[in-house]
Amino acid sequence: MQRVILCPNPDKDKDYAVTRQVRDLLEAAGYAVSVSPELLDGAEAALPEDLEGCELIPALSDAVLVVSLGGDGTIMHTASRLLGAEVPIIGVNLGNVGFLAELERGEVHRLVDAAGGDYRLSPRMMLRVQVERGGETVYSAYALNDVFLRGMGRMISMSARSDGRRILDFSGDGVVIASPTGSTAYSMSAGGPLVEPTAENIILTPICPHALASRSLVFTSDRVITVTLGQLRGRAILSADGGTFEVFSGDTLRVDKAQYRTMIAHVGDKAFYDIVYEKLGDTK
């Protein structure tokens, strides 16, 4: 029997009402359904007794679809756990904008067709980020959306390079390095361009730069982008899809294309720009 794995966010799906609704729909259609409590710190016992819990990675062996129930953060968290598996993910938006989610709460019936293969695969490039300190790698992570550096209440100075060649030396609130999928998130808010999510590019966008010439730049996916921190006068934080790590003066952030992809299951006939206007506001 083919399996569908549900990854709910209990903060978004109160009392697991939508999770139960989706489980019942899929089981009635003949699918085995398991619930992965990834956002409960692995505490399977925290699930209600009527929901069959599973460990996500072992359950992927016979899974045809992973359903993320929550917001964009839930999808990004789930993607970070599926590295290398390439099992398609489909999101049900239980949050606010939900830009990555294919379906809204009232469209969960479409998951039955999606589980049967009625979708188009939308492969998404991911980023790999490393922090180098004193010649050693002290932090490593993957991101579907973006990586950013921010000063905590003080401007920070940064030196950005592409394959070792100078891009920008500037001071400001920080910098965002985004994938095409993440171009509609923090990078856009900081003035960066919108890039079709299935493209393969690396986007660097300064955050409130204190320089006239500091603009967002789009690179091919084979570039290696480095950002070295100057002398800090306060604290600075690195975030990779929501996971945080404190960085210090002289640290170098290294970002390149990851060897992994996230496979988004795309249903319906909405194009990227239809979703942009729907989620971010149609100006017509």
Q: Which residues are catalytic?
A: 72
Cα-to-chain-centroid distance, residue 83? 12
Give the CA count within 13 Å in the CB-facing half-sphere of 36: 23
Q: Which residues contact 225 (CB under 8 A, 6 or more apart)?
A: 160, 161, 162, 167, 177, 202, 204, 219, 254, 255, 256
Q: Is the dihedral of CA 251, 190, 76, 163 positive or negative?
A: negative
Query: Cα–Cα distance between 180 and 221 in angstroms, integer?
Result: 10
Take residue 190 and report the two structure tokens written for it: 């900081």
Query: Cα–Cα distance between 75 and 240 in angstroms, integer?
Result: 14
Beta bridge partners of 131: 139, 253
